Structures are given as structure tokens and as C-alpha cells.
Structure 1
Amino acid sequence: MIIALFAVAGTLLGAVTTALLQQHGARAERRAAHADLDRRERIAAVAALVAALADHRRAMWMRESLRLSGAPAVEYDTARADSHGTRSAISAPLVTVEILAPALATAAGTATTAVYALRGAIDQHDLDRLRAAAIAATGDLVRAAACTT
């Protein structure tokens, strides 16, 4: 009789242990899947911001180059309108990065500020220097993201 009780208790204990291990494994799988999804979202947010910064950097370089060269007003106005569109396209990805990856907020802000700084360059040499600084700041953002994702 005691042997039968031990056998039943052992069976029950084995079933409970198995259920607990399965539950733990399922939780670990969910955590890993969630972490992978978070990582992908952060990478996508940084990629969208980097693309928006590159578009605005190009538009601002063109706009300021036209201004500095004394290009016709119609060309400058077209470039100016283009730069307004690319600047507004930065807002959403910047906010997304700041929310999803707060550790990257400073690098993202620095890269954005560097791109905005192209406005009002004093000459072509200054414009080229500001462009190079903006490219470097964007590279710093990408490297920071690589270290945190």
C-alpha cells in the first residue's frame, strides 16, 4: 500500500514538474520573441531616421548651395520647398527613436541638429564642412545603435 502511495505521489510530482518546466520554457520563448521584435523595431526606427536625415541633408546642401551661388530665385524656391518637406519627415522617426531607444536619444538629437546646421552656411567651404559634420554625426548614431541593439 505504501509503495502504491509513493508511486502515485511520484507520478503526480513528475506531472507537476513537467508542467512547470513547460510553462517556464514557453515564457522564455515569449520573452525571446518579444526581445527580438523590440530589437527589430529599434533597428527600423533608426534606419527610418537615418534615411530622413540623409534626405534632408541632401536637400539642405542643394538649397544652400543654390543660395550661395546666387542661383535664380525660382530654383532656390523649389529647393527651399523640397527642404521643408524633408525637414518635416524627420519628426516622426526622431520621436520613434527617442521612445523605443532612449539610450540613443542624445545621438539622434546630435545628428538631427548637425543636419539642421547646414542652414545659413556662410560660404561653400562652410557648407561642405557642415555637411561632413552631419554625415559624421549620423555615422555616430548608427554606431551607437549597433552597440545597443
Structure 2
Amino acid sequence: MLTTLVTAALTIVATLLGAIVSGRFQERAAERQVRVTHGETIRRDRLEVVTALACAASDHRRALWMRSDAVLKGAGTDRIETLRGESHMTRSAVTRPLVALRVLIEDPAVRAAADRMITLTYAIRQAIPAATADTDREAAKQRLTEAREAAKVAHDTFVDTAARYLSPAMPTAAPHPTPEEPTR
């Protein structure tokens, strides 16, 4: 009888321990899944904000170019005012993704690339000449083109920097070389 009680007690203890261990493994697996899902959601949100900012900056760059080109070609006041209104709308469209980027991405390289892209895009406006009779239109067009090209290069640099930041970590792959680090 004593052996039966000891056996039954050991069986109960073993069952309880098994249930506890199994439950703990399930709990950890669930926690791991939540972390993975959260990480994927954050990555998706970051990708969306980078894409939105790059598109908004590109739209604003185009609007500024169109406005400047109209000024250089001596377009009518109504046309220039319409393009000015469009450039104000595209500039406003830059604000939301820029704020979201600052909230979602703390990486200094991505933030610096974004700031440079926005600064150089906004600088196109400074290249818009006043349409006067003595304006050297070719020189003005050259300055405008240079400002636009600088903004386009900054845009591409931002996209490349963000792509490196967002690329999934590959444990067997070599890290991406930085511009300062020579490739092997």
C-alpha cells in the first residue's frame, strides 16, 4: 500500500512538473512570437515612413523646379501663383513623414541623411531668381539645375542610408561596407 501511495504521489508530482515546464515553454514561445511580430511591425512602419518622406521630398523638389522654370520663362502671374500654391502644398506634405521618421528612427546616419535631403530640397527655393529684365537667365538656370542635382544626390544618399539601416540582419552575411571602410 505504501508503494502505491509513493508511486501515485510521484506520478502526481511528475505530472505537475511536466505541466509547469510545458507551460513555461509555451509562454516563452508566445513571448518570442510577440517580439517578432512587434519587430516586423516597427520595421514595416519605418519602411513606410522612409518611403513617404522620400516621395514627399521628390514631389517638393519637382514643384520647386516647375515654379522656378516658370519664373525663368517669364510665365504669367496666374501660372506662377498656381505653382507657388502647389509648392506650398508639397512642402507641407514633407512635414508629417519627417516628424514620423524622427519618432520611429533614432539612427543618427539616417536622420542626418534625411536632414541633408530636406535642407538641399528647400534650398532650391533660394535658387529661384527674381524675374527681372536684367536677369541672366542662363546663369540662373545653371544655379537652379545645380541646386536640383544636389537635392537629387542627397535624396539618393538618404534612400541608400535608410536601406542599409532597414536591411534585415543576416547572421551569415558580411556587413555592408561603409563609404569610409574599404571593401575586401
Corresponding position of 2:150: 133
Which residue, out of 100, 111, 116, partners 2:117?
Answer: 111
CA distance in 1, matches of 2:88, 2:119: 15
TM-score (norm 2): 0.76
Give the gaps of 5 or more residues in structure 1: none
Which residue, out of 61, 68, 74, partners 2:65?
Answer: 61
CA distance in 1, matches of 2:125, 2:74: 15
Moved more, 71-80 or 130-139: 71-80
Which runs of structure 2 are paired with 1:34-49 in the superposition (5 Å)? 34-49=38-53
Write out per-residue CA displacement over residues 5-29 of structure 1, whole angstroms, 9 at most, x where no aligned residue.
Answer: 3322222111110000000000000
Corresponding position of 2:172: none
TM-score (norm 1): 0.93
CA distance in 1, matches of 2:75, 2:141: 13
CA distance in 2, matches of 1:9, 1:139: 64
Corresponding position of 2:94: 90
What is the aligned-residue RMSD (CA, Å)? 1.4
CA distance in 2, matches of 1:85, 1:126: 24
CA distance in 1, matches of 2:163, 2:7: 60
Moved more, 118-127 or 53-62: 118-127
Write out per-residue CA displacement over residues 27-46 of structure 1, whole angstroms, 9 at most, x where no aligned residue.
Answer: 00011001101111111111
Q: Is 1:29 aligned to residue 29 of structure 2?
A: no
CA distance in 1, matches of 2:32, 2:163: 24
CA distance in 1, matches of 2:122, 2:8: 80
Counting aligned pairs with the same residue, the percent is 37
CA apart distance, 1:147: 1.5
Q: As a proportion of its length, which structure holds more helix?
A: 1
Write out per-residue CA displacement over residues 119-141 of structure 1, whole angstroms, 9 at most, x where no aligned residue.
Answer: 12161111111111111111111
**What amino acid is aligned across from residue 88 of structure 1 in structure 2?**
S
CA apart distance, 1:79: 1.1
CA apart distance, 1:61: 0.5
Corresponding position of 1:50: 54
Moved more, 136-145 or 57-66: 136-145
Corresponding position of 1:78: 82
Corresponding position of 2:133: none
Which has more radius of gyration?
A: 2
Helix, strand or coil at the partner of 2:124:
coil
**What amino acid is aligned across from residue 25 of structure 2 in structure 1?**
L
